[in-house]
Structure 1
Amino acid sequence: MPPAARPPGALAVYIGRFQPPHDAHLHTIQTALDRHAHLLVLTGSANLARSAHNPWTAPERAHLIRAALRESGHDPRRLSVRPLPDEFDAARWAAQVQAAVTAALDRLGPRPVVLTGFEKDASSSYLRWFPQWQTDPVPAQTAGGTGLLNATDLRAALLGRGEVPPQVPPAVQAFLRGFLRTRTAARLSAEYHAVQATRATLNGTPTPQHERLDLHTDPHAVWLTRRAGPIGRGLWALPATPLPPGDLPAQAAVFAHPARSPVWPTTAHVVRVTAPPPGTRPVPLAAALARPHAFFEDHHVILTRLTEEGRGASDTAG
């Protein structure tokens, strides 16, 4: 009898934002490739505009991951990098992850799936969200023995002080040196400092913040404003009004994901209004829906979801 076919090696899955890719990320990628046949890296926040929290696009991060892996002597042909959008909803986000893994298995053929990464804080809780997959965690890497290597600190060095941090692969260092000379870096540095200053006015008190967002649409257009301040300058947005906790609108769609605001956890109460809000202008609805990177915070996610719900209600009524 011929020998039984050897089962294919596992597909490892590594999820992160990689803003920027740093030495601990590269260590996890190298370890996963040493242990498994193929690695799928999912770069999160792929649908969001550039910001001080998410300075680099999904294609830029994919290029940096591949470049860092290549210069370390590893074969990038066993690596796939795919964008992963933020949904600001755990169930929807998990469905996006599962869809990306299914697509990878369609390309590679059936095989076991292993979730890799390392647990550092609440942002790593996703490692326990997929019980159907095995887990293969990688020990967290420290920064010179001074604590966990954290991309938040690296962005603070880059955007807050104009320093290229040393805890990133050489290919990433070269990219960041060039990035610091761009207008985009200057804009995001101004945004970073504005976010820090705004947080300072809250005195570190975790008081829940609330805002009202007004949504006016017709079958062909949505009425939007342009952000004028340093936080999100030039991006499309739904007009916002701060709300006191005791004066929340009824009949509002509520979006309360803690990561939706770059400054402080803020709950959005989205109200459909019958007239264009002051200071807005019409934007073709199809064009707005097709340009997620042109929107502030999660406003494109909000617009998309409420547009889908509106269409669903119209279909039901029809």
Structure 2
Amino acid sequence: GSTERATVTALFDYEGLERVETERAEPGDIIAVAGMEGIGLGESLSRAEDPVPLEPLHVDEPTLSMEFRINDGPMSGLEGQYVTSRQLRERLLKESEDNLAIDVEETDSADRFIVSGRGELQMAILIEQMRREGYELCVGRPQVITRRIDGEKCEPYERAFADIPEEHTGVVVEKMGERKGVMVGMTNHGTGRVRIEFEVPSRGLIGYRTEFLTDTKGAGLLTHRFDEFRPWAGEIPGRTTGAIVADRRGQATGYAAMGLQDRGTLFVGPGDEVYEGMVIGENNREQNLDVNITKEKQLTNMRAASADVLERLAPPRDLSLEEAIEFLADDELIEVTPETFRLRKRHLTPDARHKAAA
């Protein structure tokens, strides 16, 4: 590597959350320095008379990527402070400088970026940070990063460890098998819990964490780390249900929601704002279903009281950000704002969706 001379103009130590200027730092201290520019992660600061570089940090390569783009939906700009492509670009490039595990790639479109990282959780943390900072954006479904090795398409594999109650072993092994995972070891702790080791494609773990917690009744622990690139494992079954999609803008009504309860699970409740192309629920069937959830009940002499309708209406499913990322299909996006996030189709109108699918 190369060396460069520089002068430290100030040295800072930390006392709690406060940064305090100091004259001396001891081994193990977390410090900040002023007076030097262009320092990257993994570089060493040493005495000019006797420079001793430290071993560079090794960080696992990114295994998946997500599309980050400006929010171009009908409700864009209503809830966020930073909404332009320039602001989004600056924030993402700053993240790639500060976070060694994040890569940002600019595309031929000024309002679209490809962000690569080590997993869904890391991406969810970045999205949540940006949301709290006042950004509006849309993100797409995670995609694994593939390579050509000796002319063969290869994908990243993970070494996954499931620490679970013994009675849930069967369902976890079965679900991992469906996702092309192979069990390579099992340890019985003699305490009613077992630790199972799997080799599984990274894309097999996309969307699995919530299902894993459901299958183990919240008592399971799932960790994983990058192993190596291996030949493509073939198709892995994805979401088998369609989306319930709003066909117009307006407020959801209890009357319309009552009529849709048997069709699937709703993500919105009476009074929530919706727009054309917004995903408002999960269909029980494989196909997408366009619906009018803003429909009002026609006035008649015989009608149920609103309170009675709401009493019979199941509460909407409140998705967390991680669950929303796991739910996404390839033709869907998450609209993220400081106040909320919404699922939507990439193309909002039925005609645009049909053309894109053709």
More helix by proportion, 1 or 2?
A: 1
User: Is the shorter-chain TM-score for this pair beyond 0.5, marking a shared fold?
Assistant: no
| Structure-2-length-normalised TM-score | 0.25
More strand by proportion, 1 or 2?
A: 2
